[in-house]
Structure 1
Amino acid sequence: MATTTDQQNIAEAFLAAREKKTPLTAYPGAVPETMADGYAIQDAAIARDGRRIGGWKVGRIAPELVARYGGNRLTGPIFADEIVDGADGAEPAMPVYAAGFAAAEAEVLLCFGTVEDRDHDIISVRDCIAEVRTGIEIASSPFPEINRHGPAVTASDYGNNKGLVLGPPIADWRAKDLVRMPVEFAIDGETVGAATMEAMLDGPFGSALFLIRTLRARGIAIPPGTWVSAGAITGIHEIRPGQRGEALFDGKIRVGCTITG
């Protein structure tokens, strides 16, 4: 899909705001009305950014907006230089846009192996997965109202992503009932959310299947080693510089980070 001049200008405005760390007080152009429009802006920004993509975040579209936007999920790139390994117990410092929007989310992370060029379903997509980890997605945008104008706007600024913390692996993930695994999230030691993946549509593997189909439609390859952050489990927890976030999976697997501006 060819991008319009306005879409290119929007992409450049987001890139400039991210680089200069300055907030956008208003959306920098015509608000995208469809997911195709949002992804066109995202693709223009990716092309200009030039960094290697190491993964993709997947988020849920609110049920009342599904009919309007034609689907129940959205995606955005996670750049390789913003993917940090916290599996050894270290708590990396993760930057956010202090004057924009910032949140942290407990998520299951799937690492793709080889994605064969064929149609997949919710069962066969598991064969594309080489590793499953716990983790935290950092959602942040220089536009404070990124999530208030619909999923196409969210998608237009990298899906509201600013990084990924890779937590410890789930060693027995093929045999484990991931959907019923209890997950908690705490900020500065206070629990702010607790849930399982039972409410996550068709679960983390459904997110992987959505991503394969969506990226193929956009002509984007999925090389081995690509991560997918499968969706917020306990909620989207707004967080500020100076705070500490920690996710607890299955009552025993911990992954944490500190937030910087």
Structure 2
Amino acid sequence: MSASPEQENIARAFLAARAEKTPLPAYPGAMPQTMADAYAIQDTAIARDGRRVGGWKVGRIAAEFVERYRDNRLTGPIFSDEIFDGSDGQVPAMPVYAAGFAAAEAEVLLCFGEVGARDYNLASVRDCIADVRTGIEIASSPFAQINRHGPAVTASDYGNNKGLILGPSIPDWRDADLIAMPVEMAIDGQAVGAATMGTMLDGPFGSALFLIRTLRARGIAIAPGTWVSAGAITGIHEIRPGQRADAVFDGKIRVSCSITG
């Protein structure tokens, strides 16, 4: 779907606000009413941005919006220069838009191998996954109310993504019961959420299946090595510069980051 002049203006406004680190007190145009409209804005911004996309975040669409938007997930790009290694105890400093929206989310990260053109289902999609890691997605946008106007608005600004921390791999992930794995999240040492992937619709591999279908419909190929951040497990935890986020998977695998403005 090609972007309209209005959608191109919205994409440019978000790009400028991100580049100049200036807040957007209001949405910069007519809010998109469909996911197709949102992805037209997103695709325009990606093309104008020019950076390499190293992964995609996948987020859940709230149940009350599913019928209207005809899907239960949304996606947005994660740029390669905003993907950081936290697998060996490193604590990357992750910048956010201090006057906008910012959150940290404990997520399972899937790395695609060769996807090709074959059709997949929930079982066979595992065949094109090369690695599964723990991690934290940083959600941030110059538009502070990005999550208050429905999933199309969220998707229109890169799906509200601002980076990814790659944690340690999950050992024997092909045989592990990922759905039952306990996950905990803390900010500044205070627990803010605990859950399992049983809350994630059909789980992280369902997110990978959704992404393949959605990107194919948009004419976007998935290169080997592309990451998918499969969705918030313990919730969307708002965070501010100066704070620290820690996610613990299976009681023993820790991923951490600090937040800067």
Match for residue 193 of structure 1? 193
Query: Could you tell me which amino acid in structure 2 is paired with residue 172 of structure 1?
Result: D
1:94-113 paired onto structure 2 within 5 Å? 94-113=94-113
Match for residue 79 of structure 1? 79
Match for residue 235 of structure 2? 235
Query: Could you tell me which amino acid in structure 2 is paired with residue 10 of structure 1?
Result: I
1:68 equivalent to 2:76? Answer no
Match for residue 53 of structure 1? 53
Q: CA deviation at 1:235?
A: 0.1
Partners of 1:92 and 1:59 lie apart in 2 by: 23
1:115 equivalent to 2:115? Answer yes
Partners of 2:166 and 2:117 lie apart in 1 by: 27
Q: CA deviation at 1:116?
A: 2.3
Partners of 1:116 and 1:206 lie apart in 2 by: 18
What is the identity percentage for the equivalent residue pairs of Structure 1 and Structure 2? 80
1:48 aligned counterpart, secondary structure = helix
Match for residue 255 of structure 1? 255
2:28 aligned counterpart, secondary structure = coil
Query: Could you tell me which amino acid in structure 1 is paired with residue 152 of structure 2?
Result: A
Cα deviations by residue, 1:125-179 (Å, 9 ceiling, x for unpaired): 0001000000000000000000000100000000000000000000210010000
Match for residue 183 of structure 1? 183
Partners of 1:198 and 1:10 lie apart in 2 by: 36
2:9 aligned counterpart, secondary structure = helix
Runs of 4+ in 1 over 3 A off after TM superposition: none
Match for residue 174 of structure 2? 174
Structure 2, unaligned runs of 5 or more: none
Match for residue 13 of structure 1? 13
Q: What RMSD over aligned residues (CA atoms) do the two structures have, in Å? A: 0.4
Cα deviations by residue, 1:52-79 (Å, 9 ceiling, x for unpaired): 0000000000001000000000000000
Match for residue 153 of structure 2? 153
Partners of 1:70 and 1:220 lie apart in 2 by: 20
Query: Could you tell me which amino acid in structure 2 is paired with residue 165 of structure 1?
Result: I
Cα deviations by residue, 1:210-233 (Å, 9 ceiling, x for unpaired): 000000000000000000000000
Normalised by the length of structure 1, the TM-score is: 1.00
Partners of 1:215 and 1:65 lie apart in 2 by: 21
2:51 aligned counterpart, secondary structure = coil
1:125-140 paired onto structure 2 within 5 Å? 125-140=125-140
Cα deviations by residue, 1:168-223 (Å, 9 ceiling, x for unpaired): 00021001000000000000001100000001100000000000000000000000
Q: CA deviation at 1:119?
A: 1.0
Q: CA deviation at 1:100?
A: 0.0
Q: CA deviation at 1:82?
A: 0.1
